[in-house]
Amino acid sequence: MKVMVFALRSFRREIRSGEVLVLLFSIALAVSALTAVGFLTDRIGKAVARQANEVLAADLRLRSQEPIPETWRDRAQEFDLQTAETNTFPSVVFAGDLSALATIKAVSGAYPLRGSVRVSDTLFGEQRVVDNTPARGKAWADGALLARIDADIGDRLTVGSLELEVTAVLTYRPDQSMGFASLAPSLLINIDDVAASGLVSEGSRVGYALLVAGSEDAVNRFDASIQPELPDAVRSSNREESSERAFRAADRAQRFLSLTAVISLLLSAVAVAMSARRFAHRRMDTVALMKSLGATQRFVISVSVVHLVLLGLLGVIIGSIIGFMAEEILTRILADLIASDLPGIGIMPVVLASGSAMVLLVGFALPSLIQLRNTPPLRVLRLDVLPPAPSRMLVDGLALAAVAALLYRSVGDAQMLAILLGGIVVIAIALYLVGRGLVATMGRFRSGVGVAWRYGLANVARRGRDSAVQVVAFGLGLTVLLLLTIVRTDLLEGWRQTLDEDAPNHFMINIQPHELESVANIYRSAGVEPPEFVPMIRARMSTINDVSVKDREYPDPGGKWMANREANLSFASKLSASNEIIEGEWWPEDYDGPPLVSIEEEAALETGLTIGDRMTFIVAGREVDVTIGSVRKINWDSFQPNFFMVFSPGALDGMPTTYIASLRLEKQQQPVLVKLVRTHPSISVIDLDSILQQIRGIVQKASLAVQAVFVFTLAAGIAVLFAAVQSTIDERRFESAMLRALGARKRTVFAGVMAEFAALGAAAGILASAGASILAAIVATRLFELPYEFNPLLWVTGVAAGIFVVCASGFVAARGAVNAPPVDVLRAA
């Protein structure tokens, strides 16, 4: 009881001291950063996943060539999941005497479970979102289908025995294929009309699908329960396969948020360690007096622990409030991305952040406080008497163990943890060595400079180890701030390229060789540059290295599917601008040797293929033997026609070939498409604008989140700088008082302090620039798969930032010491 009363009384006095405020701020910052980032990482991940799942129109899709069993729907309802059904089959659609092949998409009333359908009232007209499906007896037709049969809205179409009225032009449905497996335009109808059409019977070519959506946990449990019952013919698709581009943006955003949280935690740890060091040093006199009056070591430690716990609780409360305020602000910023029906943030991020803050205190502050119990009572009479320093292994071991545990708990990414911890440790050692070298050489440069610089450089040399520690603190703060700035800039630039406004927004497929010149002339007549036509040949792989693709073992399940599916092949003499050779060599433009093929890197990994492997393809009943000559990396974000397999010139001569193309059309140029599809009704035009808008929406919101959370790291960096300055504030206050008492002007003393900080900042800036450059290259390429280019301006920026930021922090933190009346300081001493 006595311990608690004494601790509370003394804590109320000490809470106003500078080092305690920095310690409190560091704890609150760690809690608020982890709370806010925990919220963002969790909810943005779920929101982006849900938005990305639009390409499935669900969270999980089960596809089969047989009707979906009723038991599957019942099972989904047991898990409180929404369901919808689709039937897909080809059929000839008639409008009077004209007809065309179409893909009939019959959907139930709940379709789509994710995303939305868009229609327009005229061919290639303004789109609008609808929240329903065609009623019975109605249909929404693809613009290309209407053009082929010369029909319009209000006309009646015949599908089998069914007569349907066209009520809208179908412009976009979430699960429309981006591939080329189905060249026929779509007709969306009500699933209840299928039976009346008479087109679906035993043996009919129909694709059945069950769409499932709901909470992530419920979907996963349903998927796990039904997987053992699924026949081999049923293909299950989940969010992992739904949208590579959308999930790449989400994954990068989440990784950056995690990186920001980890670095904020690291900086907070440095600030806590430095503040706790001064916190303990400032209390030596009090402890010595307490022990001279009979206080036991147990009493001293108990009071210190109570102070630590109170600091932790206060920091948790303040940090939680800031975290929830940040949550509210970021929720408003990301309102369009974060769906209102997602589960709330809950209390778990606060619990984890609070626990992390307490571990931070134990790991970084407790070792310094343990030192207090050994303070000798003799210090009451002799201030130079210090307690024996605690074991360095104890201090460093506790600190590193605490950081490692917190980082692994926060990130759960061993690669990121290894890169960050390893890089920070190496940079810290280099900074300390440079700091010691700076201390050793500063005394030699004092002659020939002004009074202020002589005083400042002497301070650097005189403080010795403290100066080296300050260089480490300043350098680490600058390193991680430069690192995050570089990665953030590269990340946003990479996303900006993804959002290229000049990216193609229309695909044309099924262009016959004899139509190429006519199609080009239609575009020229409308003032549009004709696109580049890329050949495409349908084929099926039969053997790999003389082993049947059905019997071969594959390193990845996706490899078996890729080897056994019907493939789209192409041939080219020049490498596409959106492709890069990463292994092997591209053939010469005039190549006329044995058939070669270039394979995409992911396809090569999944199928286990490499350069020199042989494959046999069946093309129009003929066998084509080919050898892998190179492996390519494809920029799928370019929206250019790309293929997993590209053959050398001449390898596919004489094979049935169609052509595809992509181009960008502005809104005022789109009427040319009406003429195109009416003149060439066999050509299908795919509008990519809706898909591009989806990706842009995800990336833009993720960018906002990245920039908003960056503020936490800036605050943590400032905390480190202030803690570094506060660590020597008592000495500065005494030195300033002595100099002013001996006649030095305040301006001279202050200029000397700024000269000291400028020297420390320059040294820290040089090492921080080097460390940030190396670490950024590793982080950008290994964690974010972003290209990294060395920028020499970083060094100029780093050194300038080091001098400016350290001097600015020193000015704010040290001006009180310089301005303190000398008589007050000397009397207190």
The Cα 166–Cα 138 span in angstroms is: 6
Q: Give 476-492 pLDDT, tens digit per residue.
A: 777 877 877 777 777 66
Q: Give 204-243 pLDDT, tens digit per residue.
A: 678 888 999 888 788 888 888 888 877 766 777 665 444 5
Indicate if 69 and 210 belong to the same structural domain: yes
pLDDT score at 196: 87
What is the three-class DSSP state of 517? helix
Q: Give 393-440 pLDDT, tens digit per residue.
A: 555 566 666 666 666 665 666 777 777 777 878 888 887 787 777 767
For residue 79, give the DSSP letter: T
Q: Which residue has the higher pLDDT, 285 or 796?
A: 796
Residues whose CB falls within 8 Å of the CB of residue 332, separated by 6 or more in sequence, listed in order: none
Domain boundary among 216, 237, 258: 237
Share of the chain above pLDDT 90, in %: 13
How many structural domains does the chain have?
3
The Cα 596–Cα 647 span in angstroms is: 6
pLDDT score at 240: 46
Which of 54-63, 184-193, 237-246, 397-406 reaches the highest mean pLDDT?
184-193
Q: Give 614-667 pLDDT, tens digit per residue.
A: 999 999 889 999 999 999 998 776 778 889 999 999 999 889 999 999 888 887
- Banded model confidence at residue 100, pLDDT cuts 50, 70, 90: confident
Indicate if 453 and 517 belong to the same structural domain: no
256 belongs to a structural domain: yes
Domain boundary among 638, 671, 687: 687
pLDDT score at 380: 45
732 belongs to a structural domain: yes
Does residue 559 surpass a pLDDT of 70? yes
Half-sphere exposure of 20 (CA within 13 A, CB side): 18
> Hunting for tokens 């995690």 — which residue is that?
258
- Banded model confidence at residue 52, pLDDT cuts 50, 70, 90: low
Least confidently predicted of 182-196, 360-374, 761-775: 360-374
Query: Which tokens belong to 441?
Result: 């050489």
Indicate if 583 and 643 belong to the same structural domain: yes
pLDDT score at 123: 73
> Hunting for tokens 């189905």 — which residue is that?
182
Report how far apart the first and last C-alpha atoms of the chain are (Å, whole number).
33
Indicate if 669 and 604 belong to the same structural domain: yes
Can you give the pTM of this predicted structure? 0.61
Span 94-98, average pLDDT:
85
Least confidently predicted of 589-593, 594-598, 752-756: 752-756
62 contacts 69 by C-beta, under 8 angstroms: no
Indicate if 659 and 716 belong to the same structural domain: no
Closest C-alpha among 429, 266, 471 to residue 363: 266
202 belongs to a structural domain: yes
pLDDT score at 220: 85
The Cα 649–Cα 586 span in angstroms is: 11
- Banded model confidence at residue 534, pLDDT cuts 50, 70, 90: very high
721 contacts 474 by C-beta, under 8 angstroms: yes
Indicate if 271 and 312 belong to the same structural domain: yes
Indicate if 542 and 649 belong to the same structural domain: yes
Q: How far is CA 173 from the centre of its chain?
A: 27
Query: Which tokens belong to 112?
Result: 């789509």
Alpha carbon separation from 720 to 266, 431, 434, 475, 714 (Å, rounded): 10, 15, 19, 10, 10
Span 736-759, average pLDDT:
72
pLDDT score at 296: 72
pLDDT score at 125: 72
Q: Which residue has the higher pLDDT, 385 or 530?
A: 530
The count of residues in the chain is 829
Indicate if 679 and 736 belong to the same structural domain: no
Does residue 503 surpass a pLDDT of 70? yes
Alpha carbon separation from 495 to 253, 666, 764, 777 (Å, rounded): 10, 22, 32, 18
Span 84-96, average pLDDT:
88
309 belongs to a structural domain: yes
Domain boundary among 212, 237, 262: 237
Span 27-33, average pLDDT:
74
Span 372-391, average pLDDT:
53
Span 107-120, average pLDDT:
87
148 belongs to a structural domain: yes
Closest C-alpha among 95, 221, 215, 261 to residue 166: 95
Span 357-374, average pLDDT:
69
pLDDT score at 375: 64
Span 194-206, average pLDDT:
77
Which of 49-58, 412-421, 611-620, 706-715 reaches the highest mean pLDDT?
611-620
The Cα 200–Cα 451 span in angstroms is: 96
Span 582-601, average pLDDT:
92
Indicate if 129 and 158 belong to the same structural domain: yes
Q: Which residue has the higher pLDDT, 625 or 19?
A: 625
243 belongs to a structural domain: no
- Banded model confidence at residue 182, pLDDT cuts 50, 70, 90: very low
310 belongs to a structural domain: yes
Query: Which tokens belong to 591?
Result: 């190549």
54 belongs to a structural domain: no
Helix (H) or strand (E) holding 521: helix 516-525
pLDDT score at 781: 77
Helices and strands counted in the chain (H then E): 25, 22
| Structural domain boundaries, residue 552 | 506-687
Indicate if 331 and 380 belong to the same structural domain: yes
- Banded model confidence at residue 575, pLDDT cuts 50, 70, 90: very high
Span 527-536, average pLDDT:
90
Indicate if 229 and 317 belong to the same structural domain: no
Indicate if 354 and 323 belong to the same structural domain: yes
pLDDT score at 412: 64
Q: Which residue has the higher pLDDT, 709 or 829?
A: 709
Residues whose CB falls within 8 Å of the CB of residue 208, separated by 6 or more in sequence, listed in order: 63, 64, 65, 66, 67, 68, 85, 86, 87
Q: Which residue has the higher pLDDT, 366 or 499?
A: 366
Chain mean pLDDT for the chain: 76
Span 606-616, average pLDDT:
92
Closest C-alpha among 738, 745, 728, 740 to residue 813: 728
